[in-house]
Structure formats: C-alpha cells, structure tokens
C-alpha cells in the first residue's frame, strides 16, 4: 500500500524561491513538517532571485514602515552567514541620490531620523570628491547609508535551501502545481502537473508569476502585474571597486536606476527600477536586447552620470511582480485562514526575504508574527472584493 504520510505534511509551500525557502527553513527548524514545491530547481534564473547581487537598504525611501523589517532582515542575513559559513553580505554603503523635493529622498531622510539610523548627507560636489566615478551637479542630494550594502542573492537562496533540507524539510523540484484544493480551515491540498496530490494543514503560496492564477479560485483576485526588466554589467574600471564606489539608488529625469560596485571583477552592475514591459504570466521573456531600451536606457544613464565605466559587458533579463502601489501583499486568502499568500514584491523584496520568511513561518504556526505586516494587507486595495466560490 502507498505511504499516505509521504504525501501529508503540516505545511506545503508553493514556490521555493527566496521567500519560500526562508519560510521553509524557519518552519522546519521549529519542528514543522514542510513540503516545498518548485517548478524549477532553485536557485535558478527563472524568476526574481538571480543576477548575483541585491541591495539592502535600511533608511527606506519606499516608506518608514519597512525599516524594522529591514533591520530584522539584516540581523537574520548575518545569522545565516554564521550558520552556513557562506559570505552573503558586503558592507559597501548605499548612496540614495536625487534632486531637492524628490519624495524618495525625503522619505529616506525621515525614516533614518525616526529610527536613529546613520545617514550622511552630501551635495553633488561633495559626492564627486568622495566618489570620483560620479558626475553629479551641485544641486544633487546624496543620502549615504554607510551600514547598508550588497547581498549575494543566489548564495543566500542556496544557503536557505541547504539549511531547510538539513532541518528536515522536503524539497520537490521540477514540481509545478496545477491547482489548490481547499477542504477547510485545517486541511488543504495541491495537485501537481504530474498528477501527484499532497495535503497539509496549512499552505503558503509564494510562487511569483503563478501566484495570481493559483490563488484566484480561492476568491483572491490579486492586482499584480508581471513586468519584464533588464540589467547589465559594464567592464571593470578602477573607480568602481567597492572601496571607491558604493551601491546606489538614483532618481533622475530619465528614470529610477540602481547599481552595484565592481565585485569579484564582474564589473559595474546597473539596472532600471521603473519602466519595463508588462507580460502575461505564461509568456516567455524575450532575451536581453530584444527591446531597444534594454541596453539603451542603461548605457544612456552610465554615459551621463558614470562616464568612466567600460563598455557594456553582458545583459540579463528578470521579472518584477508589481502591485498598483508597489507595496507587498502578505495576507491570507479570503475565508481561508490556513492559506497564506506572499506576492507583489515589486522589485524591492529580496532584501527582506529572511525577515519575511521568519514572519510567514510564525503566522503559519501561531496565527501572527512578531513583525508588523499590517502594511501589506490585501484589504488596502479599493474594490478588492472576494469572489464567491
């Protein structure tokens, strides 16, 4: 007879990316029997956790409500480094750059003041003297966070995968989920594309682009748009080493850009945060260069503000899952208290994955988390009424 327990768990997690693996680790560490299902084999380049590096900022231009979560995430990344012996964080500092009156810069300053974070403010001339690679005008304002820096994203995902499995979590790769079957507040099932069925007391859905389709039958019409994005590395140059150039987030007339110093001789990495091309959940992403803006936006930005960079070396494509207000959605499905959803990270979620994973694990086990996630409630969207099943 088949072993029923082999298909029965305390918690099923659909999507073993950054959020899913972190949650899986913290659940398994607490003794929860966890099944992680992923359509690919993480870490991978199909989604939002590839590209070598991510910024971690603490004084947060997207809103002061993120700051406690960012600080908790930073502590947990340090803990993950120590537990695995894997270098995950480089303290490069992060320069937040813009012109007077920019809302993002104003919020960086306010959030730093509210939480007592170290923040240095420079004008464009002072910034050019400190970081010779920049070509800024005197009117530019730079809010510099010396304690912020860079995370190695794929290494972090791999570290959580290793620890989750070591703690007893079951990971099934190449296991795309076809549908969710909700049986009640203490029972939920999933069916994979291969026809396998698994059941659990609780379900966490953090499956990126597939989340809206999977969760819609449970009465949750998620206002999330999948957006194709591009980023690139430029040939290494002396002024872009981590001792002479910080990570950055910049609001300019041409758009919102972010970047990283030359780490491990990969070169200067630059991406555009706004813009991009909306695509359907099942569309294959066109490769870098298929859109003229792929190299064009990045090269124009570099020529204007970082002219000492070398030529564009290589470009890549990723995707954002974007909400209308660009804030996350972390909630339960309407009427399904044991179905947890984490989505809509809008291109700035990775830095929080450690803390969000911990908080999701606490919500699954205890019904609430120490971290305040009320800012990410699904109910904030006007007219986001649940469908009738």
Q: Does 130 qualify as catalytic in the annotation?
A: no
What's the N-to-C CA distance of the chain in angstroms? 35
Q: Given the residues 54, 140, 316, 327, select the one marked as catalytic.
A: 54
Active site residue: 58, 72, 273, 316, which one?
273
**Cis previous bond, 43, omega within 30:** yes
- Backbone phi and psi for residue 153, each to the nearest 5 degrees, phi listed first: -65, -50
The count of C-alpha atoms lying within 13 angstroms of the C-alpha of 198, restricted to the half-sphere facing its C-beta, is: 28
- Per the annotation, the verdict on 54 as an active-site residue is yes
Closest CA to 14 of 285, 200, 222, 280: 200
Cα distance between residue 320 and residue 318, in whole Å:
7
Candidates 49, 161, 316, 351; catalytic one: 351
* Catalytic annotation, pick one of 33, 50, 313, 380: 50
Q: CA 349 to CA 209: how far, in whole Å?
A: 14
53 carries an active-site annotation: yes
Instruction: Tell me, yes or no, if 340 is annotated catalytic.
Output: no
What is the DSSP secondary-structure string of 53-107? EEEE-SS-TT-GGGHHHHHHHHHHHHHHHHHHT---EE---EEEEE-TT-HHHHH
**Catalytic member of 92, 228, 316, 318:** 318
Catalytic residue among 49, 128, 155, 269: 269
3-state SS assignment for residue 326: coil
- Residue 229 annotated in active site: no
Of the residues 53, 92, 211, 343, only one is catalytic, namely 53
Helix axes 153-166, 353-366, angle to 10 degrees: 30
Residues identified as active-site: 50, 53-54, 269, 273, 318, 351
């Amino acid at each position: 007879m088949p072993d029923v327990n082999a298909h029965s768990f305390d918690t099923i997690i659909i999507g073993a990316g950054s959020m899913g693996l972190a949650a899986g680790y913290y659940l398994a560490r607490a003794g929860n029997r966890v099944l992680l299902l992923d359509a690919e084999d993480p870490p991978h380049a199909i989604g939002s956790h590839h590209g070598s590096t991510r910024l971690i900022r603490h004084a947060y231009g997207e809103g002061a409500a993120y700051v406690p979560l960012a600080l908790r995430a930073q502590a947990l990344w340090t803990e993950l480094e120590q537990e695995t012996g894997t270098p995950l964080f480089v303290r490069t500092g992060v320069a937040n750059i813009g012109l007077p009156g920019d809302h993002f810069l104003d919020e960086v300053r306010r959030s730093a003041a509210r939480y007592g974070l170290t923040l240095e403010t420079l004008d464009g001339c002072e910034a050019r003297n400190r970081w010779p690679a920049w070509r800024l005008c005197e009117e530019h304002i730079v809010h510099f966070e010396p304690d912020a820096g860079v995370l190695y994203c794929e290494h972090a995902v791999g570290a959580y995968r290793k620890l989750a499995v070591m703690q007893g979590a079951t990971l099934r790769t190449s296991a795309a989920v076809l549908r969710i079957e909700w049986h009640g507040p203490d029972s939920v099932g999933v069916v994979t594309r291969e026809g396998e069925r698994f059941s659990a007391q609780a379900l966490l859905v953090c499956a990126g682009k597939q989340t809206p389709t999977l969760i819609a039958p449970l009465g949750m019409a998620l206002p999330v748009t999948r957006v194709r994005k591009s980023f690139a590395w430029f040939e290494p140059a002396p002024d872009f080493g981590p001792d002479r150039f910080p990570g950055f987030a910049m609001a300019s007339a041409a758009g919102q850009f972010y970047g990283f110093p030359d780490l491990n001789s990969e070169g200067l990495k630059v991406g555009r945060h706004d813009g991009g091309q909306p695509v359907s959940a099942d569309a294959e992403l066109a490769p870098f260069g298929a859109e003229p803006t792929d190299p064009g936006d990045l090269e124009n930005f570099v020529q204007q503000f970082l002219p000492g960079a070398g030529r564009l070396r290589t470009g890549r494509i990723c995707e954002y899952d974007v909400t209308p207000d660009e804030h996350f959605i972390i909630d339960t499905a309407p009427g399904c208290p044991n179905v947890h959803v984490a989505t809509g990270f809008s291109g700035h979620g990775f830095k929080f994955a450690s803390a969000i994973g911990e908080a999701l694990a606490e919500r699954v086990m205890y019904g609430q988390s120490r971290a305040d996630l009320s800012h990410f409630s699904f109910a904030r969207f006007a007219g986001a009424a649940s469908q009738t099943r």
